[in-house]
Structure 1
């Protein structure tokens, strides 16, 4: 855990012109892990969230923090729900690592309500449906942002995006290979043969799901902020939609456990309705969604396989063991069922 040296932090905040100068500075850990740590920072009536890599994180994590900062700063003034960008610090003399302050989001996270949705969404099925539609609307709005006009022209490489997806992740799998995955060869061949010929580039979140958003308190459902932007890039935004939907149950009246098993998926809209809402808001067609769903399942299987291969005695990572083959077989079966061949 990072040692937040409050005198140095307070002095830097004063230099950045942030409110509350002279008042006692209070900090509180909100979440922490191997990727980044988030702290609440408050003095007088001012509240913010501070995002910083752990002290032992590799140096390139500082570049990742700056990448996140660029994205949320570029989103200021848009209709995309996001934490307001307040100030960024690249001077290691302050806290030892690059960090930034963002506006404190007054809302709730689905990760804090994994057993039951908070009121009114637990008992009101109509209100609960809005959670899914708002989730889709968040990335639909994101896909419409003028990324070049917002200064993000060098954030990613949209040219050849789909060519690189297959090449990059098959290469990654070869480096971590510890076992064979049934269906991987078939799914990989299908993806290579069915890459989209054209797409409209846009900002991607990169890991879009219920775990990475916050909602406003009370009903109706309103997205308060999209959070955790470390995977953000410019690419094909429809992969965000597929990443969100790839574990969506076929039957939301009585869903089987899937990728979204950490939240209650009962009585949410069907996948087709959620995709249609995304299409209506984003202006993007979703007729080829199957390709993106295959890619999302295939890619997620490889990402989770990395965790499984380095699990050691970590029970959470070991649990990926049976999930990965299931995901890869599902990707291959979906590819086979699409009705179009390479």
Structure 2
């Protein structure tokens, strides 16, 4: 299973940490922290930077904003990420990394950062998971465990735990739909008729909001750490950057928008490993969620279509930057296809009235 471990590698040039300054700060503020014997960097992700700190006592993970991120308003909020982890631990939700310390003293590293305990395990990626030949029955139980974990998150009492302070649930759906449509128009490069149709549908068919819960907002296989000896056991849920409170079906819709099935377009298969044999179908995911949560999911089509629209906008934003010459990465040249594929899937779902 080691091929699937998220392995840190050498730190990228220009993204090094000030080891001496970091060591002095952590010695002063974390009991028994120990000497840092090695610093490595996790290569994945396009947002915050993530490092592995080895000490003689244990392994830690450090998160910091990208270099030059000070100008990005509202993004890369290290204090908020740390607070979310702390609040979840206090709420009795144990499947998160243990938060260790948050530092907003920029004299230490030139930016706010936080440290958490490392959760060792396996993260399944769409590109490499097929090589593992995971048995069908294991895949089935793992996909069920993923749904059950989302149900558990949505069952947390946001009032009693104080998680309510992470967002403003009233009007959440409308803000999301209008906000993502605005982002699309700002980044638009080509006329994609399906995107226009979906934007109109999302405004016209907007449902009344369900009672709010905590939302992870990016709940999928590659954001969970699994026990390498038992792949059906979720050790931790990662990436709480977009966590907020609102209609829980918005979270379900986002998860389903990543949930490619065997018959879906190859581009969609690159999002997730849910097309592999044994996984629940989207309909089975919805049914299990409804059974376990007691929520009415009869209107889930709307939320699924919103998830597809949102993912298409994110892809359009990346493609728009490429078209403007703001990034030279050749991987981005063909991303317009992704916008077309996801928006077409949304239109097809609306016409068929089926997720």
Return the TM-score normalized by structure 2. 0.85
Cα offset, 1:117, TM superposition: 5.5
Is 1:223 aligned to residue 237 of structure 2?
no
Q: RMSD across aligned C-alpha pairs, in angstroms?
A: 2.4
2:64 and 2:111 in contact (8 A); partners too: yes
Equivalent in 327, 345, 351 of residue 330 of structure 1: 345
How many angstroms apart in 2 are the aligned matches of 1:165 and 1:262? 22
Equivalent in 278, 288, 291 of residue 277 of structure 1: 288
Is 1:73 aligned to residue 86 of structure 2?
yes
How many angstroms apart in 2 are the aligned matches of 1:24 and 1:184? 50
Is 1:232 aligned to residue 247 of structure 2?
no
2:24 is matched with 11
- Equivalent residues in 2 for 1:121-200, closer than 5 Å: 122-200=133-211
1:257 is matched with 266
How many angstroms apart in 2 are the aligned matches of 1:261 and 1:176? 23
2:276 is matched with 266
1:136 and 1:274 in contact (8 A); partners too: yes
How many angstroms apart in 1 are the aligned matches of 2:217 and 2:335? 20
Return the TM-score normalized by structure 1. 0.88
1:52 is matched with 64
How many angstroms apart in 1 are the aligned matches of 2:67 and 2:213? 33
SS of the residue aligned with 1:310? Answer: helix
How many angstroms apart in 1 are the aligned matches of 2:126 and 2:58? 24
Cα offset, 1:67, TM superposition: 1.7
Unaligned runs of 5+ in 1: none
2:126 and 2:269 in contact (8 A); partners too: no
Equivalent in 335, 348, 351 of residue 320 of structure 1: 335
- Whose helix fraction is larger, Structure 1's or Structure 2's? 2
1:97 is matched with 111
Figure out how many residues of one structure are paired with residues of the other and give that number. 333
How many angstroms apart in 2 are the aligned matches of 1:332 and 1:324? 12
How many angstroms apart in 2 are the aligned matches of 1:153 and 1:332? 34
Is 1:82 aligned to residue 82 of structure 2?
no
Is 1:303 aligned to residue 314 of structure 2?
yes
